[in-house]
Amino acid sequence: MQVTEQQVNEQIEQCITLARQFYNRRFIVPQLHWFHRGTNAGYAKLQSNEIYLNHVLFEQHPDYYMSDVIPHEIAHLICFTLFGRVKPHGKEWQSIMRHIYELTPTTKHHLPCEHLRRVRQIDYMCQCGVVSLSMIRHNRVRKGVQSYRCKVCGETLLQHGL
């Protein structure tokens, strides 16, 4: 099913309308933003009343976004409006998910997203051979704040090819 941005906005408004009817209270429709990196399905910025959705995952799983991700993020905003700062997936948020959106509260999506991970490895050497370090560790070495040793031979790892 091809879902348009207009349909996404309508779903956001529908989620807000359900909350208005349930609580007999006014809630402001949040601003929608898209992001294109990472494996998070979405997130809510509570103080600024905004939701951010992963456009790549949305394009691959639009039905799941409409049925689960959008209500999940809207529930965070409703929870913040009603209760202030509480546990992100605490009893208040869970109650909103169950009673307003009639969904089982879940904290993580189960969409396939390994293809979205951008974990790059940099090759280092020791007398044992090649050892790969993550970009985080590589950057620490490059900045001179950390060095790493081989777990087998104990030799300090040096960047391969330098």
**pLDDT top residue among 162 and 122:** 122
Q: Are residues 34 and 87 in the same domain?
A: yes
pTM for this model (two decimals): 0.72
pLDDT for 101 beyond 80? yes
User: What is the layout of strands, in order, in the sheet containing 158-159?
Assistant: 129-134, 121-126, 158-159
Render pLDDT for 7-22 as a digit per residue (tens, 0 to 9).
999 999 999 999 999 9
User: In this structure, how many other beta carbons lie within 10 angstroms of the beta carbon of residue 110?
Assistant: 8
User: In this structure, how many other beta carbons lie within 10 angstroms of the beta carbon of residue 16?
Assistant: 18
Among residues 116, 134, 150, which one ends one of the domains?
A: 116
Q: Are residues 14 and 77 in the same domain?
A: yes
Q: Are residues 43 and 87 in the same domain?
A: yes
- Residue 33 pairs in a beta bridge with 52
Active-site residue, 10 included: no
State what percent of residues in the chain have pLDDT above 70.
94
State which residues form the domain around 127.
121-159
SS3 126: strand
pLDDT for 119 beyond 70? no
Q: 121-126 and 50-54 as β-strands: parallel, antiparallel, unpaired?
A: unpaired
The pLDDT of residue 113: 74
Q: CA 41, 44, 50, 54: dihedral to nearest 10 degrees?
A: -10
Q: Are residues 25 and 104 in the same domain?
A: yes
Q: Are residues 21 and 99 in the same domain?
A: yes
**pLDDT top residue among 118 and 110:** 110
- Residue 45 pairs in a beta bridge with 50
pLDDT for 117 beyond 70? no
Tell me, what CATH number does 11's domain have?
Answer: 3.30.2010.10
Q: Are residues 100 and 59 in the same domain?
A: yes
Task: Look at the chain and count its residues.
Answer: 162
> Token pair for residue 35?
């992001």
Query: What does the alpha-carbon distance between residue 29 and residue 49 come to, in Å, rounded to a whole number?
Result: 8
Specify the number of domains making up the chain. 2
Q: Are residues 32 and 110 in the same domain?
A: yes
Annotated catalytic residue: which of 10, 73, 114, 155? 73
